Amino acid sequence: MSIRLRPAAGLTRSFLQSGRAGVRRTPFSQCAIRYREDPAERAEKTTTIPESTQEPSPKDDGKPKKKSGRSVPAFSVTAIGLPIGWYLNDWYNSDGGARVSEPGEFVEYTLIGKENVSSSCAIFRLRPASNIVVDLDDPSTERAITSVEFKQPQLQIARSYTLLPQAPGQPMEELRFLIRKEQKGEVSNFLHRLPTGSKIEIRGLRTEYKIPADIKTALFLVGGTGIAPALQAADHLSEEANMHILWASRRREDCVGGSNDSTPVKRASSWWRGPASNDTKAQAVDLSDAENGALVTLLESLKAQAAATEEPSRRLLVDYFVDEEGSAVKPEDVKRLLSSLSRADSSAEGGRKLLLVSGPPGFITYWAGSKQWVNGREVPGPLRGVLSTLDLGGWEVVKL
């Protein structure tokens, strides 16, 4: 979704305060970047200029002397000093560390890499271009699925992209986003044309959905790049809930190396094109022996993280459905999983069950009904589509 940019009004400066963050678990999709400098270390870097100890000249008789040489006008000192002061204030505020961006403020990040996931999709890696950063440690975004807006400066529009969870070994200050090059996407095409080293203006964080604290079971219906919010939600719930992801992709290249954790997938009609055509099957590339792709690797990491918990019922399972291979998620699959997941967690008293649907508009409309615009804002809208015909038995449906 692209939005027209408007100047932000009523901006309030928000600086990092020492001792601000309490002790709490932060999922690695919300790792904060902080460039802190110890006051003692800063003192060592500060040059102290001693007071003058020169004796008065015998010729000094106390009378005013006419200055010789050229003097610097006062307005020149002011003109030079003010920008320097503003710069130093930005750099040395809050104990000499970074400051977080103000509400509505775009800040520059540097594109340090693009990892191709498929022929039309890549993972973009960004790092701060200065000491001003988006606030990833905002308490209001805890347990939230969050996104960041990317600016297209020529057209003055922006589009939101969901943050990916942090991969093993990824620097804390690095942000990653899964971005597909859409045929008519002004922002996505602009981003895919950028070379490594380019500056990108972003702002955020933006809360897409806040996960309730008492979720015990979660089922994710995912289409295409909708895997990004599912990954973030799975990261939040990895130590708390029993989870199952059903990920539908057009091509195997999007999920190279992925294998199903439940029963083998039967060939079926695709949710977007009906029965898979012979042309589609002929174009399919055999990637059965290929190494795991970046997204499958991240899913495997989250599965291992969930399996490491002391509670055996807290696990993450993933099933892959690929259109070019003739497989697709069927209503019977969803109905079966809703029933089995409910039975598995029947002993969890007071636990809520979350059914999250994320993906392109056609995917969401097919399964849960389209989103709607109300007073200039996009809202989920009523439950329709395939899920409205099933007995959900207390499952809460969320559209992303």
Q: Which residues are annotated as a binding site?
A: 159, 161, 178, 187-188
For the chain, count helices (H), then strands (E): 8, 16
Q: CA–CA separation, 272 vs 81, rounded Å?
A: 62
Q: CA–CA separation, 329 vs 369, rounded Å?
A: 16
Beta-ladder partners of 378: 373
- Binding-site entries for FAD: 159, 161, 178, 187-188
Grouping H, G, I as helix, E, B as strand and the rest as coil, residue 206 is strand
Q: Which residues contact 298 (CB under 8 A, 6 or more apart)?
A: 164, 165, 167, 231
- DSSP characters over 75-95: HHHHHHHHHHHHHHHHHHHHH
Q: Which amino acid is at 83?
A: P
**Is 102:12 a contact under the CB 8 Å cutoff?**
yes
Token output for 384: 């329709």
Backbone angles phi, psi at 220, to 5 degrees: -115, 120
DSSP 60: -
**Residue 182 falls in which region: left (phi positive, over 0), alpha (psi -120 to 50) or beta:** beta
Residue 339's H or E segment, with its range, is helix 331-344
Grouping H, G, I as helix, E, B as strand and the rest as coil, residue 348 is coil
**Is 360:303 a contact under the CB 8 Å cutoff?**
no
Q: CA–CA separation, 210 vs 232, rounded Å?
A: 11
